[in-house]
Chain A
């Protein structure tokens, strides 16, 4: 969007904002001069608790430990603590530390003075242990993956005679550690200055692949990412309007600028003994944003956002290949420069008590100003491929959406709405525009006060410009319509219901059907059908007992077609994914000292793929997963200050995946795989902890002025 239009928009928003602030403030008529609040037990002093214990796990592995950090059998320390301090001068401090004995530990410490300022420091550890079943012949040395001495290269994995003795276990795992520092200064009840610095370190080993023309390898790739971000700004809040202006800067870097790996196969061309992959380049995002709202007459609210930014990267290029004598091309970096913009205006109004109206207009610009480059390239570090032009992708997206709801009577409400999503693509893409127009209607009936049923029905039609298959090499079959560009007809239905049967029994249900039809695309995606249903029943007969049961079902069906070239009719592939979940549980306090809670979850999924080509139908083996989990928590209040907590978790996870089942390093002639296997576990976990509360209750009556 050109500058003049941006200015026009900002001026418009400012004018509307200014007019809204002219709406008179409405000072309270209450006289509070005699309100002493002498009986108010405001929190004071220090209180806290600490929990310490032991956690034992058997059968734990990467599947169970992926995000918890409990990835092997044995004992772990289980520790947590929290506390609060508050002084009568308004100064305070809080802290909360959790899972201190695990890699998934997190916590924060905050403090400040009420109404003046606050500071908060937080830490979050997040392990991600994906596979512990792989094995590799490669040995890592910094950013180089080499093969052991005596490695026997061959034209296929079966001929790699030293493979068996070269394999060493490898775990695909990483850890994300985030430290954040947040500060706010309340210059006045209306003005706030804020800033947040966040540093996220993410390092470990990822699973990647690479090939030498037709021969591929799976690699355990080391990475070491750091993202620093700073968001700072100022906010002003009046009684009828508010505005927030902020700056966001985010800097990403990878300590590995590339990594090199040996070719385990006999080189297809002499000298092609090494491969080199580029790692994600360091990049910088900077944005300036203003967002706000204004209360207008007729119970109308205006909201607005204006945001502009740039996304840049200029990392040095690698040589065009790892072949001897390969050069870094000219220019030697991209000088990538993408301009991002987001402007939005929303209006919501209730001019009548029975009528609500809302409308939003949003513009998103992704303007890639990077100069396209024509560069020489080498195919998979094997042989020169000529030169190619790097395409750049820009798009302008405008969304208009709105709706209205009207209460015909106290028991029935109807609504209509629509959305227009208009995307125009930059030059050099296979389509120049798509437009998705959606409309819907809904009705809510409340035949009796505690029962409410809502039905929503809608359709959406996506159109696209003519398709130019030659616009982007490599050229696609001109009959295919790429998924996100393809014309599409969609119908959808949603039914939701909630019923408070009695004061102790509630029931809710939700169901939806969506059908996408891509049949104007001769090849590619033809249809997607999605069906979902879920229900929830809760029963709380008394304060000391609450129970629930919930279940859900989902079916996702995809139909696609392709063209083998030699066949006279396209092939078809149909995929049906089904997923169930059933959970039940409750919480019971049989005596004042005891609390018991029990939760059970069963969640299986099935995925069936069938293909048809040349009149021959073939079915893939069924992929399936099954999660079966039980959790028991038992707490005993030994003394007023001490609680003993016992936890037991039993989890089994089983899965079948034809892409991984039985696929070892040498199963595929032209793929030296890591041989990772589908997720599976059978875990029993026990935890016994003691929680001790200390400090006084912290409530002392005092006068507020």
Chain B
């Protein structure tokens, strides 16, 4: 273990060293922000914009959202805020060009702006809060635009609702969406959970962008009864819930990857019944109905499989 700790510390320090070097380099930035700063803002802010857009309900719906709160100094319409141009960039050229959308930052798949330019305007405010870990996440690496998931000019952003979120995430994560129609699953279809109950789409330092540091910390934030530490621990449980469970859904009961006893026998081949092959003879109509196979299978007896605090719980039977 010492070797691991040492290598981990060395890796982190190397990374930090590299960062320090980069930080010291002070290379001039030629990014979209600099280009935008050189452009002119509109003369009257949102009043200029509404001169043309006031009749468009798709635009005006912004005034039903958090982005249009005059009392919020952190928002674009707060005191001194850049209003529409906080997100769309300086609009002077857009006005001068009679509404040419290539002259402002526009959002969506038909935009002239690159995904990076679009996201930069959102992250200008949100990288300090909701999108803390955006840069290191899979969505950033995949050039996903903020507006691929979020709708800003609507009273209620659909991705903020459980049902809307599932549909939006399913646009790319089709396999996980299909998992929701399997025999065992979490209650996402009923709107009692959302993808963000477990995952942080804006990035996280946990595997699979989980909301907690590890798989187990995420699962036990609701299933705290399995958190332990137990007197008798089951090693794969303490290590990672996904050793046995598929959290997105399974055609097996209890989100299991495989049905007992076969699941258990991927690890347990000790002398006696753990190693014995269970065949159809052990089924209800098979001539020799077997408690190793029917009802709960192994957990008919080893029911405390997540761990036991009973002094005699050595084999998770008490």
Contact = CB atoms under 8 A, between A and B. Distances in A.
A633 interface: no
Nearest to B92: A30
A350 B284 contact: no
B56 interface: no
Interface in B48-96: 50-51, 54, 60, 63-64, 68-75, 77-83, 85, 90
Contacts of B297: 659
B269 A476 contact: yes
- Residues of B in contact with A, size category: 35 or more
Given A12-B13, A283-B228, A627-B181, A113 B71 contact: yes
A337 interface: yes
Contact of A562 (B37, B63, B235, B277): B277
Nearest to B54: A39
Contacts of A30: 41, 82, 85, 90
Residue from A8, A313, A345, A400 with most neighbouring chain B CB atoms (10 Å):
A345
B266 A483 contact: yes
A613 B277 contact: yes
B136 A348 contact: yes
Residue from B75, B85, B203, B318 with most neighbouring chain A CB atoms (10 Å):
B318
Contact of A296 (B22, B251, B303): B22
A361 B12 contact: yes
A482 B252 CA distance: 21
A343 interface: yes
Contact of B280 (A176, A562, A618, A660): A618
B46 A40 contact: yes
Contacts of A611: 277-280
Nearest to A669: B289
Interface stretch (A160-168, A379-387, A685-693): A379-387
A551 to B, nearest CB: 9
B204 to A, nearest CB: 8
A508 B279 contact: no
Interface string A549-566: 010101000101011110
A481 to B, nearest CB: 9
B258 A558 contact: yes
Interface stretch (A14-22, A53-61, A265-273): A14-22
Given A211-B300, A299-B31, A613-B279, A225 B203 contact: no
Interface string A619-634: 1110101010000000
A235 B127 CA distance: 12
B245 interface: no
A211 B266 CA distance: 23
Which secondary structure dominates where chain B touches chain A?
Answer: loop
B235 A104 contact: no
Interface in B206-243: 206-207, 213-214, 217, 220-222, 224-233, 235-236, 238-240, 243
A625 B229 CA distance: 37
A573 B269 contact: no
Contact of B77 (A40, A192, A360, A366): A40
B12 A343 contact: yes
Given A278-B310, A393-B235, A510-B174, A658 B77 contact: no
A571 B220 CA distance: 37
Contacts of A26: 33, 37
A428 B33 CA distance: 57
Contacts of A297: 22-23, 25-27, 29
Contact of B224 (A39, A126, A225, A343): A225
B89 to A, nearest CB: 11
- Residues of A in contact with B, size category: 35 or more
A16 B12 contact: no
A659 B4 contact: no
B11 A114 contact: no
B151 interface: no
Interface in A516-534: 523-525, 532, 534
A34 B140 CA distance: 37
A90 B72 contact: yes
Contacts of A667: 284, 289, 294
B262 A607 contact: no
A373 B280 CA distance: 41
A32 B80 contact: yes
Contacts of B72: 90, 114-115
B18 A704 contact: no
Contact of A575 (B23, B222, B258, B283): B258
Contacts of A704: 70, 77-79
B4 A301 contact: no
B206 to A, nearest CB: 8
Given A34-B44, A301-B136, 19 more contacts: A16-B20, A40-B46, A114-B75, A209-B301, A209-B303, A293-B133, A305-B213, A334-B231, A358-B141, A361-B12, A390-B231, A397-B4, A398-B7, A422-B7, A484-B239, A484-B267, A552-B178, A611-B277, A613-B279
Would you list the 5 A-B pairs with minimal beta carbon distance, nearest first? A90-B71, A346-B136, A237-B128, A35-B45, A344-B205
